[in-house]
Amino acid sequence: MPISSHSHSGQFCGHAKDTLEEVVKTAISLRMETFAMTEHMPRDEEDLYPEEVEIEQTAAGLVDLMDRYYAEAVRLRDLYAPQIKLLVGFESEWIRPSSAGLVERLLQQYQFDLFVGSIHHLHTIPIDFDKPRYEAARKISGGTDERVFEDYFDEQYVMLQTLKPPVVGHFDLIRLFSNDPNRSFKLMKGVWRKILRNLELIAGYGGLVELNSAAIRKGMSEPYPKVEICEEFLRLGGRFTLSDDSHGVEQIGQNYHRVFEAITRVGIQDIHYFERGSEKADERFGHVRVRGHSVASLANHPGFAAPHR
C-alpha cells in the first residue's frame, strides 16, 4: 500500500470528507510512501454538481477553491516531506469543448506534479452521480448499455488525444450504473474495439493507467479497469499505477488487498508512480520522473495482506 495516485478531501471537494491535512496524516499512518493529492478542477457554471448548487457555489468560487487547495497542498508537501512523498495534482474533467481550455489554463497557472485524466460526464450529463442521470445519458446514446459504452470510449479517446494525461483515471467508470457492471466488455465487439484503440493510444504516449480500488468500494467485483482490460494493456507494454480514489480518511488504501489479487491474476510485475526529482519526464509538470515498485516487493506490505478497515 505504498502508493496512491488519486485522492480527494472534504476541505476541497463537496462530496468528500475530512481536511486535506487529515488525509495526509492518515496516509502517513498507513505507511504510504507516495501519495498524490488530486482535487477536482474548476468547471463551468452549467456543470456544477447538485451539492454545489445547494450551497450556492459558483464557477468563480471553484477557481478560488483551486487557489486555496494549491497553496495548502504545497504547504503540506513541504511540511511532511520527511515522512512521505506528496505530489500536488488535480483531477481533470472532460464535459464540453471548453474543458480543454480550462485544463490548459490550470497547467499554465500552477506548477503541478501530475494530473489524473478522467471523464465523469457524457452528453454533459454526470454518469457516475446516480442511476437516473446515467439512464438519461444512456437514452441519448440510443437506450442500451452497449451504445452508451461506445459513446463513452469515443469521448475518452478525444480526451486522451487532446490532454495526454499522465494518469488515466477509472478507465471504465461507465459501467458503474449499467445493468451488469461486471459483464465482460468482450461480449460487445464494437465496445471492445474502442477499448483496445484507447489502450493503444495510452501506451503510445506513455500514460499510466490507474488500478482504482473505488470500483470494489462501490460493489463491483474487480477494480477499474476490469482484469480483461488490464491484460490487454499489459500486452501492449502499458504501465500501471495504484489509486484508492479516496474521498476521506476512511477510504485511504481501502480494498488494496483486493486490487493486489487482480494484479496477481493479470501478471503485472511493476507498479509505477511519479516522483519529484532532477530528471524531466514531461515539460508540463516540472521535474518529475516515473519510478517503479516491483510487485514482489509489495507483496509483504500489510496493506496488501488483509483488509485494514
Question: Per-residue confidence at 129, pLDDT binned at 50, 70, 90?
Answer: very high
Apex 41 CA angle, 38 and 46, nearest 5: 150
Report the pLDDT averaged over residues 83-88.
98
Question: Per-residue confidence at 284, pLDDT binned at 50, 70, 90?
Answer: low
CA distance 224 to 222: 7
In this prediction, residue 297 carries a pLDDT of 83
Q: What is the pLDDT of residues 19-40, one digit of tens each?
A: 999 999 999 999 999 999 999 9
pTM value is: 0.94
Average pLDDT, the chain: 94
- Residue 180 three-state SS: coil
80 conformational bin, left if phi > 0, alpha if psi -120 to 50, beta if neither: alpha
**pLDDT surpassing 60 at residue 307:** no
Report the pLDDT averaged over residues 118-127.
97
Residue keyed to cell 509483504: 300
CATH number reported for the structural domain that contains residue 173 in this entry: 3.20.20.140
Q: What is the pLDDT of residues 147-182, one digit of tens each?
A: 999 999 999 999 999 999 999 999 999 999 999 999
308 near 255, Cβ under 8 Å?
no
- Give the domain range for residue 249: 3-305
How many structural domains are present in the chain?
A: 1
Between 48 and 299, the more confident residue is 48
How much of the chain, in percent, has pLDDT values that exceed 70? Answer: 95
**pLDDT surpassing 70 at residue 282:** no
In this prediction, residue 67 carries a pLDDT of 98
